[in-house]
Structure 1
Amino acid sequence: MPKDQNDQPYAASAATASAPPPVPPRTGAGTDRTGLAILLMCVTSFIFAMQDAFSRMLGSEYPPVLVVMLRYWVFALFVIAMVSRQPGGLRRAIRTRRPKTQILRGAILVVETTLMVEAFVRLGLVGTHAVFTAYPLLVAALSGPILGEKVGWRRWIAIGVGFVGILIILDPGGAALNLGAGLAFVCALLFAVYGLLTRHVSRDDPAQVSFFWTGIAGAVTVTVLGIGQWEWLAPADWIWMGLLCICGLLSHWLLIRAYELAEASALQPFAYTQLAWVSVIGVLVFGEVLHMNVVIGTVIVVAAGLFTLWRARVKKG
């Protein structure tokens, strides 16, 4: 399994980066097919963007928690099927040394995913993703207090520069900030905490276990939160929900395949192609406006985030 299997790729979609996928160990140099893995990551990013579009469509008509609940039920079945094929199967996946933290991870991701759908509706795909790009910076900033890791001055400068980019995106002196922007930032914060907790449990539990608990704990949590808001979807909307679930399963499968072929560190920059796809979909499908301050701010934040990831690799190496 890749040494950096617990790094989270850029992904704001519902349960897209839910856990390090259960990847079998690579035993030969010939199994590292980085070019194909990069292509798979780019395709996966496009599918993630399609998921977000379907989530926004459904979230504007139904309670976001209902949309997420239906999606998680399918995701949980996918997780069970995937871990059943791994060594030890479900018996191994259930055995965790940190059950409380694993359950907390699943619950945090459910809340983050639900708020993300609400942000899509209020702020749009472009604006939500622009603000969400702050999450790698939040991971770097919180790695000290949560994991006890040392953050050097170079990364602190990058974090500061990144948050300048966030301010450029939000444009406090321009249009009034709305609830959607706040929700998008809260999602970035929650996803950062989720990612750090994933690294924390990886010290004791393999990826197979984390993958299983994320899906199952998340499905239970969202069912408790959302079952009271149950309503039947209109017949046509079941088609959109079906497409959302199909995209979810396909994106997870492709992501796992990409991780089988190359190290996560080689793939992470290409996960940011999701930003381009959501921008195209947001503008062409939903009539969103791509303001220049959003473009400039996003470039600054992404550059700062990639720098923090690179510095983390240097420190590990």
Structure 2
Amino acid sequence: MANAQANRRGILLMLVAMGCYVLNDVFVKLAAQSLPPGQVLAVRGAFATLFVLALARGTRAGWRTALRPIVGVRCGLEITTALSSVVALSLAPLATVSTLMMTAPLMIAATAMALRWEPWHGGRLLATAAGFAGVLLVIQPSARSEVAAAGLACALLCAASLAARDLVTRRIPATVPSSIIAVATTLAVCLAGLLLDLVERWAPPTRHELGMLAAAAGCAALGNYALIVACRGVDLSVVTPFRYSLIVWALLLGYAIWGDMPRPEAAAGVVLIVAAGAFTVWAARRP
């Protein structure tokens, strides 16, 4: 059991991490209004690569472990996650995309139980079902408005890719350094963005667009760091549910920047998803 001060620090850092992730999405969404998805991935990936290489500078060994097939699978899932996220943000409101992406923990719980990696738990099954019912509430009012169905589909694809990526990450041997995984996946996303140049029409980015994508990469890197520190030396059952503050950040920034307001049905869906996700995390962490 961690002390109360450690848990309070963990909660604060978790709130900061989720805020950084949403800021990353905000900058990506702004840049994606004038740049194609591949160019967004390539430019942001170039900045992100500089950040992760700086973090991995002290790693002297283990670079060959990046050639393991399971690391390649994670790189592929990172590419689908990043690409579907950029497309979803360009087509749908920030809060809607963030809410649908936060169904990833529910998908992880359902998949882990189905594969017998974790024991069956009736409460978690009910919570997962309630969370997916919340997804329907979020989608239905959006589907009847001007939101493109492709944006909603990409947000759900992103959530599925996130879930699969995290499940694969659990299977990567501990002998593979985390910094190596970060460098490999970041480079993979950047290269994937460059390859999309073959089917997209790129334009020279302005200083404003470069600044937004650099800020997006910086926010993502800071969010990753804050998340790691937030989960160390704390009670995870207390701190982890605050990951869902990401939805609150997305609602606030979506309203402040674009004037997005969720309909009552969508708001009820958000509550269901947050409650289901928080319960799923709590049930998984308790003895």
For residue 93 of structure 2, the aligned residue among 124, 128, 136 is: 124
Number of positions where the alignment pairs a residue of Structure 1 with one of Structure 2: 282
Residue 238 of structure 1 and its aligned partner are, at CA, apart by: 2.1
Determine the structure 2 residue equivalent to 1:268. 240
Residue 172 of structure 1 and its aligned partner are, at CA, apart by: 6.9
- 2:9 is the alignment partner of 1:40: no
For residue 34 of structure 2, the aligned residue among 61, 67, 84 is: 61
Q: Secondary structure at the match of 1:33?
A: helix
Q: 2: CA distance between counterparts of 1:233 and 1:281?
A: 24
Structure 1 residues 189, 235: closer, same or farther in 2, change over 3 A? same
Determine the structure 2 residue equivalent to 1:296. 268
Structure 1 residues 243, 218: closer, same or farther in 2, change over 3 A? closer
Q: 2: CA distance between counterparts of 1:173 and 1:74?
A: 34
2:79–2:188: 8 Å Cα contact kept in structure 1? Answer: no
1:80–1:90: 8 Å Cα contact kept in structure 2? Answer: no
Deviates more, 1:220-229 or 1:32-41: 220-229
Residues 5-62 of structure 1, C-alpha deviations (whole Å, 9 max, x = no match): xxxxxxxxxxxxxxxxxxxxxxxx89x8332222122122222221111111111111
Structure 1 residues 91, 263: closer, same or farther in 2, change over 3 A? farther
Give the TM-score normalised by structure 2: 0.86
Q: 2: CA distance between counterparts of 1:261 and 1:84?
A: 25
- 2:30 is the alignment partner of 1:76: no
For residue 233 of structure 1, the aligned residue among 205, 209, 216 is: 205
Residue 209 of structure 1 and its aligned partner are, at CA, apart by: 4.2
Residues 153-205 of structure 1, C-alpha deviations (whole Å, 9 max, x = no match): 32222211111111111227971672211111111111111110011114664
Q: 2: CA distance between counterparts of 1:286 and 1:78?
A: 29
Q: 1: CA distance between counterparts of 2:79 and 2:235?
A: 27
Deviates more, 1:134-143 or 1:176-185: 176-185
- 2:256 is the alignment partner of 1:287: no
- 2:64 is the alignment partner of 1:91: no
Structure 1 residues 141, 204: closer, same or farther in 2, change over 3 A? farther
Structure 1 residues 249, 134: closer, same or farther in 2, change over 3 A? closer
* Paired amino acid for 2:112: S
Unaligned runs of 5+ in 1: 1-28
Determine the structure 2 residue equivalent to 1:23. none
For residue 151 of structure 1, the aligned residue among 109, 120, 145 is: 120
Residues 241-278 of structure 1, C-alpha deviations (whole Å, 9 max, x = no match): 23223323332333333344535444322222121111
Q: Secondary structure at the match of 2:71?
A: helix
- 2:206 is the alignment partner of 1:197: no
Structure 1 residues 231, 196: closer, same or farther in 2, change over 3 A? same
Structure 1 residues 209, 234: closer, same or farther in 2, change over 3 A? closer
Structure 1 residues 149, 238: closer, same or farther in 2, change over 3 A? same
Determine the structure 2 residue equivalent to 1:309. 281
* Paired amino acid for 2:255: V
Structure 1 residues 40, 174: closer, same or farther in 2, change over 3 A? closer
Give the TM-score normalised by structure 1: 0.79
2:41–2:190: 8 Å Cα contact kept in structure 1? Answer: no
- 2:186 is the alignment partner of 1:215: yes
RMSD (Å), alpha carbons: 2.7
2:40–2:193: 8 Å Cα contact kept in structure 1? Answer: no
More helix by share: 2
